[in-house]
Each structure stands twice: as C-alpha cells, then as structure tokens.
Structure 1
Amino acid sequence: MNVTPFQIAISDSALHDLQERLSRVRWPHSLADSGWSEGTDEAFLKRLVDYWQNSFDWRAQESRLNALPQFTTGIDDKTIHFVHRRGNGPAPLPLILTHGWPGSFMEMEAIIPLLADPASHGGDPRDAFDVVVPSLPGYGFSSAPCAPGTGPFEVARLWAALMKRLGYERFGAQGGDWGSSVSTWLAFQNPENVAGLHLNYIPGSYRPPLGNGETPLFSPEETQFLDTAKTWADAEGGYGHIQGTKPQTLAFGLNDSPAGLAAWIVEKFRGWSDCGGDVERVFSLDALLTNISIYWFTGTIGSSFRMYLESRRRPVHFASGQRVLPPTGIAHYPHELPMPPRSWIERVYNLQRYTTMPRGGHFAAMETPHELAEEIRTFFRPLR
C-alpha cells in the first residue's frame, strides 16, 4: 500500500555501455537517395546516433525529469511508476493522463504544469487539476508483467486502484494511443468514478455494435473511414502486426542495438506527427533521444510490445447495449492516424464535445501542449 518517492538514477556503467555500442554500429547497405520511403532515413539516423554519442547529455535530461514529483507503488504483483503533481487552485480536479507507444511518461512533461497550475500560464486557477501520469506496465520505470494477461482492460483496473490509493474517488481520464484504450476501459468500468473522458485518439481496435443482424450497417462516411483505415494499415501498419504477433523476435534485436531501437522509434515520431516530413520541426533531438533513452536504459522495448499482443486478445469491442457512460470529449488532430467519424464514436461513447484542432498529430501533448491543455480545461469545466 506504500507510495514511495522515486528519482531516476541511471548508472555510470549503463551510460558507458551505451557509448560503447554507439561507437561500433554496423550499418546496413541502403539504396542511395531512398530517404524515408522504405523506413528510417540512413543519413538522419547516422546524424542522430552521432548526436547521441557525442553531444546528448543524459544527465541533464535526467535532472530535468527528476524535477517532476515521481513515485512508485505496488499494485497486485506490479510496480507502477507515476508522476503526481498536485494542482494550484481552489478545487483541483484529479486527472489521470495515459501515454502510448512509442512514447513514455515524458510525453506529458510539457502539459503537466499547464494543467496543474493554469494561473501561471495565463489560465484560470479554477481550472486546475491534480495531475497523475503513470507509466504503462512494462514501459520505462513501471515493472513488466511476469505473465500474460495485462492489456488495456487490465491496466484500467490498475489505474482505478492507483487513483483510489491516492485518495481520489472522482476523477477525469485523458489519453491518446494506448492511453485512449486504457482510458476508455477505465470510464467503462468505473462510470460512477470517472467524471469525464477526454481522448485525442479513438482506439484503433475500437469496434462498436453495428446493426441488429449479421450484416453490419455502415453509413457512407463510416465506409469511407474503414477504407481509409485499411489503406493506412496496408502501407503503415507492419509495425503493429509484428508487435502484436511475434513481438519477442523483434525485441531481441532492438533491446541489443541502440541504433536499431532509435530507428524503430524515430520513424513513428516523424510519420505520425504534424512535421511535414521534417521531424526536427516538431521535436528536438534532445526530446527524441530522451524518450528513446528511457526505453534503452530500462530495457523495456520488448515488454512495451506486449500491449499489442494483449489487445489483440481483448480488443476494445462492445456488445449491443453497452455504452461508455461518462461524458466524452474528442480532440481530433489533422495529422492523426485514421479516426472514425462522429457517428461511429457516438454508437458507444457519450460524446459531448468534438473539436477539430488546427494543427498537430499523434503526439498531441508534446506537439501542441498549450492547445491540448486549453481543450482539456474547456471540456472538464462544466464537469467539476
């Protein structure tokens, strides 16, 4: 039942090992001028690896992250790492934010102070939140599951236990990517506790009940969404298929090669963000490498893949008559992965707000923290 303060402290030997590995990367043969068309661009990756080896200061990033109030606690057989920043305002609303893959808790670093202390950032102190940002099991500093059976549905139960342990009986939930799946299940399982649900992505596996017969009934807009999602999956979904079917094979290579790990992760930050093909237009090399380094130093790239496998076993599907009861808000970003239309969402979610955002992509809390924070404040204002 203990909640223990936590500080990141990567050993000097781990830093030295990383330097050694980066100094002897064995580069594969690449076709000239292939760019990003067949995966990560060789020229960019070589520059990123050089920066990681010769310029990146992990200790500076570690010190900055340690300014966040971090804790660990044991729930069931798992150690859960989380940030818990109490709000500055007359009545802060508890809010649990859940990250996704290939991110980590640091995705929320910039948005935490905007939500916890809005008055210091041009906002109203009455909009303050007590912010809780856990690391998903098997990601970063949360322990990896020791046995099968920990997917988004089960993580939602862990989050409910965490919020109760912190003394919160009523709270909001927010997330994107895997955070949207976990937050959806959290709201579904705990409608009496979740004051509101805010998502910047609809779970990719989400399937509402459609029609009353054996043949699903799709509107033209929904049919177009399904076609778009299939086209995207054919062109971009290979990562998800292997992570959801044969994750361990991939884990051996990425857990052993920092260059391989960086290539696997940075391609998604470029492809899924609103960067116009230039990943550094949105993310600094320091930000990219801090996130990648968390995976590297904790050796959790393989355990992070389990969410894909477990989600295939229990996807976000609903039976006829089932609904996610808490009020739901959606922030739809223009460069997000394929998103279903409102009619698809409304079949199950209690949709109260749907906002088309002017810019941004899959990593909304990193790409546009101020805009997302304002959208979250606006959605939860009448629910306090």
Structure 2
Amino acid sequence: MLEPFQIAIPQPDLDDLHQRLRNTRWPAALPSAGWERGVPVEYLQRVVERWLEYDWRVWEARLNEYEQFTTRIDGQRIHLLHARSPEPAALPLILTHGWPGSIAEFLEILGPLTDPRAYGADPADAFHVVAPSVPGHGFSVPLEEPGWNHLRIARAWAELMSRLGYTRYGAQGGDTGSVVSPLLGRIDPDHVVGVHLNGGLAFPAAQPGDFDNLSARDQAKLAAAEHVRATGTGYAELQSTKPQTVSFGLSDSPVGQLAWILEKFHDWTDPVRPLPEDAVDLDHLLTDVSIYWFTNTSATSANLYYENRQPAEPAPGPSRVPTGVAVFPTDPAMRHILEREHHLSHWAEYSRGGHFAALEAPDLLTEDIRTFFRPLR
C-alpha cells in the first residue's frame, strides 16, 4: 500500500537549526591549515553564514512539486519520489542515491528524464522516474532493524517496482546505487531491461596483471584511487566499524554534520574545481545536508557501511542484464575489470564532472542515460 507523503519540516526545527548554527563552538586551527587536514575553519564559517541565509522552504517546495509516497517493504518504511512522464510510452527507471546523497541530488535531471520534449529532446527517450530514499537515509526512517545491506535494498527495490505496477524497467545509480542497481539486475533479470552506473568509489577489484599496460587515462585513475585509499577513507572506517559513536557529534551539531558531508563534496567533485561550490550549487548542497540534519540520519545512514562489512549471503553471480557505465573524473572504473562482473554494452568517459554527476554534469549524465537505454526500450 502506498501512502501519499509531503515534506513538511516543523518551524521549530528550523528555528533550532539556526540557533545551533549561531551558537557554534569553533575549534582551534593551525595557522594556514588547508584541506589536507580536513575542512578549514575559516571556509566552514563562510558556509555556515550562507546556511543561516539559505531558505529551506524554497527547496522543500521544489521537492514537493513531485509526487511522493511511503510504503512498508520487508518491515521497513520506504519513502519514494515518483516523477511520472507525460509520454505514454515512457520507460520506468529507478534511481538509487548514495551517501552522502539523497533524492535531492536528482532534481536537475528529473525534468529532462521525464519530459524530454520540454527540453528540446526526443520524446521517445522519456522515463517514469522512481527515486526511493535508501533505508536509514532521508525520509525512509526510522531504520527499524539491522541487516539492511546492499542486497536487501535491491530486493526491496524489486518489490517496490512490482508494487508500482512496473513489470519492465531500468535501474540507474551512483555511489551506493552503483552497487545496488547491478544487484537489482541480477535478482530481477526478467524485469530489469538494463542497468546504468556512475560514481563507483571502490578501489578496482584487480587480479594479477590487471594493472599492466594501462592506458595513460587508466594510470591516472589508479594513481587517484591509490591516493584516496591512503588519505580519504577514514570516514568509511569510522562508519563501517562504530557508526553509533560518530553519530553523537553529527546529530548534536549541524556544523559537525555539514563538515562531515562537505569534506566529501570537496574530495569527490571535479578535481579542477577548487571548492565544493565551484562544482555544485551551494544551496543545493545545503539542501542535501539539511535533509540529513532534519531527519537525524547520521547514525542510520552510516549503518549501511557497517552492514556491508558484515558476513552476508553471497551476492548473485555475474549479470546477464545489459549494463552501461558513465565514467566521470574521480571515478576509478576500468572497463577490463568491470566487464568480468557486468554484461557491458555501453561505456563512456567524460572529462567534466565528478562523483556527484547528477549535480555536477546533469546534461552529460542525462544524455548518457538516454543513449544507453535507447536500444533497450
């Protein structure tokens, strides 16, 4: 059963946020400390000033322009945004966000995907978009029991699409979605017509010889992945081992939550963009952070890292569903490695954008999704 839903953050919650921001106790910092030690204090102070001016109600209304629902699947409350296309032959498509993302990161691509005619594109490329909040993230709360790993989410998505009446559909995702979407194709291959991926962060799962004779581009990807593994995985170690402990600071301090997420937008966006707001609209970024703050999901979103570190049933074998990959700067994906697990039928590499492609390069991501699914309709 689907229950209609609209986002309506109580005004006292907004007032509390502003009061906490004004009362921040700022940490001491070393002179001239840059991003190599984490988010610089002076920079974060400027972003907090913007947060105090930012209008949540504008973005809440923008999200509420789309149909939203909640439903219960496998004992868990699931929230979803359902953007239907005006085109009768539109292909259903389920989008899966990651951490520290939310359904808000899809706002720039929902219109072009659902109504290409209005954006000067071929109406035959239209999609009905389903964008659920991952359990424990956004409005898919409370997280009611442990065990919500990637495979369980994929099974819930299969049930969700069936519940919506979609018997033939595509799957797309980045970050968490780059894992969940292929799993969905493996467990529901009779209904998933194709899987499109971007934004995988995992170090390439290489075998002996895989890094021999790499192209210059793949050598650069490997060097970047090595750097991230050496200097940028502390957040994942904390969230995958002690998610509850780290959440106390994040759930009590909006500035703590902001810094925790802002660091990832600095590290994972297009490397030619020095600051997060150079790659992503700052108010859009603050919308994402605000969702984590208002839903108090620092612990429950981090729980996904913990669950995926635990022993679990084996995932289904290599996919037979056509798979497309869009590779943006900061993505470590290498075709000769990924094709062992995926039935690759499309591969495109871009020089603009980054991990948050739906925000950084919505035009490129949208067109790549259209191109991949065009022959599969």
The normalised TM-score by structure 2 is 0.93
Conserved 8 A contact 1:207-1:316: no
2:310 aligns with 313
What's the Cα RMSD here?
Answer: 2.1
List alignment gaps of at least 5 residues for structure 1.
211-215
- Note the alpha carbon deviations across 1:99-143, whole angstroms, 9 max, x for none: 011010101111011110011111111110010000000101012
Q: Say whether residues 1:65 and 2:63 are aligned partners.
A: yes
Aligned residues, how many? Answer: 372
1:302 aligns with 299
Q: Which of 179, 182, 194 is 1:181 aligned to?
A: 179
Shift of 1:203: 5.9
Q: Which of 298, 323, 330 is 1:328 aligned to?
A: 323
Q: What SS does the corresponding residue of 2:59 show, helix, strand or coil? A: helix
Conserved 8 A contact 2:204-2:337: no
1:264 aligns with 260
Q: Which of 133, 136, 139 is 2:137 aligned to?
A: 139
1:87 aligns with 85
Q: Say whether residues 1:350 and 2:343 are aligned partners.
A: yes
Shift of 1:34: 1.0
Paired residue type of 2:81: V
> Aligned equivalents of 1:330 and 1:161: distance in 2?
25
> Aligned equivalents of 2:313 and 2:192: distance in 1?
18
Shift of 1:228: 5.3
> Aligned equivalents of 1:170 and 1:206: distance in 2?
31
Relative to 1, partners in 2 of residues 1:154 and 1:30: Cα closer, same or farther, differing over 3 Å? same
Relative to 1, partners in 2 of residues 1:315 and 1:174: Cα closer, same or farther, differing over 3 Å? farther
> Aligned equivalents of 1:202 and 1:189: distance in 2?
20
The normalised TM-score by structure 1 is 0.92
> Aligned equivalents of 1:244 and 1:4: distance in 2?
33
Shift of 1:285: 2.4
Q: Say whether residues 1:31 and 2:26 are aligned partners.
A: no
Paired residue type of 2:275: D
> Aligned equivalents of 1:383 and 1:161: distance in 2?
22
Conserved 8 A contact 1:333-1:361: yes
1:359 aligns with 352
Relative to 1, partners in 2 of residues 1:226 and 1:371: Cα closer, same or farther, differing over 3 Å? closer
> Aligned equivalents of 2:103 and 2:225: distance in 1?
27
> Aligned equivalents of 2:155 and 2:366: distance in 1?
25
Q: Say whether residues 1:130 and 2:128 are aligned partners.
A: yes
> Aligned equivalents of 2:72 and 2:5: distance in 1?
13
Q: What SS does the corresponding residue of 1:239 show, helix, strand or coil? A: helix
- Note the alpha carbon deviations across 1:250-292, whole angstroms, 9 max, x for none: 0011010001111111111121111521222222221121111
Paired residue type of 2:19: E
Q: Counterparts in 2 of 1:46-65, with a 5 A limit?
A: 46-53=45-52, 55-65=53-63
Shift of 1:201: 3.0
